[in-house]
Chains A and B, each alone.
Chain A
Amino acid sequence: MESIQIAVRLRTPDPQAVTALNAIKAMRLQLPPIKLQRSELWDFELSSGGEKIVSELVGHFTDIVNPNKQSWFFTGKDVLFEGEDPELQWAGIVVRDHADSVSKNWTSLLKRRGFPVDSLRYSVLWRLGYLKDTDEALVKKMALDLSVSNTRAGGLLSNPVSQEVAFWT
């Protein structure tokens, strides 16, 4: 069994990230993130084929990656996300639905098409860029606080009733 993750991003600035950053600015936090990036994450569990199979199905299904407007790469290779400022300190937050028909239906579709995919999971990765000299533990705490909308005024990126968040490493 192989686990392979890809990240998919818009080639242009992501309007969702722009809106999220504006909403964060309106929250008037003491230490808000300076930049915000959004990617879609697709986690594949494969019985065989590895990156070759993933590349093949990414090339085949434009609903996963539309090459006209999106770029993608395999994560876990210590690459800096395109467009990310290396002078900032970045924290990654992954948001997933507890029950997710996108993942379920894609798994079923890929199996039917004969791809050696045991499961697939869709999630959204938010990368929050803070000032470089901010304490790392504080960055993590602030990113987590911002990630969960427990109240109308606090948090933003996930609904705690229907979604779960985790740090992206």
Chain B
Amino acid sequence: MSSAAVIRFPGSNCEFETARVLRYSGIDTRIYNWNDIERLSDNRADAYVLPGGFSFQDRIRAGVVAARESIMDLVFEEAINGKPVLGICNGAQVLLESGLVPGWKPGSVQGALAGNLAPGRSGYLSGWVHLKASPEAIERCPWLCSVDQESFPLPIAHAEGRFVFREEDMDRVKSHIGLKYCKENGSASSGWPENPNGSALDIAALMNAEGNVLAMMPHPERSFHLWQVPPDIGGPWGDRRRNSSLKELEELPGPGAVIFKSLAKYLGVE
């Protein structure tokens, strides 16, 4: 049976729901503490997930302390060997601080998830955004291979979610885009509020060159079921949510399920 490891750092707070939706998707999933290195080393997984939360209370800056933990040496090695690795929100910050994403020179810090830039406000924001996958990501990212070209909504909740790159890297980063913030109908974002944090190129998720490592700020595990979609959201997912019976709400997948279904498909889970 295909397996996944969810890595829990001190301050992670989305590990249980992340593990649960991976299990719902048919993947045998275990949660490993940051100091469970030997146990994880003896039980290598087929995929790794760094969940959301506030690892080490976001001290110094989000993700930087977790990125230096020894367990990340193992994740780093597995990522370089081509295993699928997903970082969600704080997990994405850990991946950027680890130099795994964008990963032109693995281990070098070549991007940042900086503080949100939004007109008239600073700090933490939460809400729902609309996203669209890039064709390159659908083609080569195990976490996005079942996504179609339609836009879909996911929730966000972060204070440091703005993808930033050096000016000279802005061209080559385009081929690493996994998901982009967009309008409800899928057309390009015109900035805030569709792009809620001022992210460069409207990036919501970024992958490495090989596509096996994905750093995403939205939370797919919080929208795995249709009942988790707010009834007042626009677009086809909102229609589906409003027009579903209670029974359907319990049973039908939400927009975030496709991320984990993609992995299941990639791993050959029936």
Contacts and interface: CB of A to CB of B under 8 A. Distances in A.
Contacts, number: 83
Contacts of B198: 99
Interface in B112-150: 112, 114-118, 120-123
A18 to B, nearest CB: 8
Given A102-B122, A152-B67, A153-B68, A162 B60 contact: no
Interface in B84-124: 97-99, 107-112, 114-118, 120-123
Contacts of B34: none
B157 interface: no
Contacts of A160: 109
B99 A152 contact: yes
A19 B56 contact: yes
A161 B164 CA distance: 7
Main secondary structure of the interface of B (DSSP, over half): loop
Given A151-B99, A157-B60, A162 B107 contact: no
Contacts of A62: none
Contact of B109 (A15, A99, A104, A161): A161
Contacts of B165: 161
Interface in B190-213: 198
Interface in A108-129: 108
B109 A159 contact: yes
A26 B98 CA distance: 16
A113 to B, nearest CB: 15
A71 to B, nearest CB: 20
A129 to B, nearest CB: 17
Contacts of B35: none
B225 interface: no
B31 interface: no
A105 B117 CA distance: 10
Interface string B169-199: 0000000000000000000000000000010
B118 A101 contact: yes
Given A19-B56, A23-B65, A149 B109 contact: yes
Contact of B114 (A23, A99, A150): A99
8 contacts: A16-B59, A23-B65, A97-B114, A98-B164, A105-B120, A152-B67, A160-B109, A161-B109
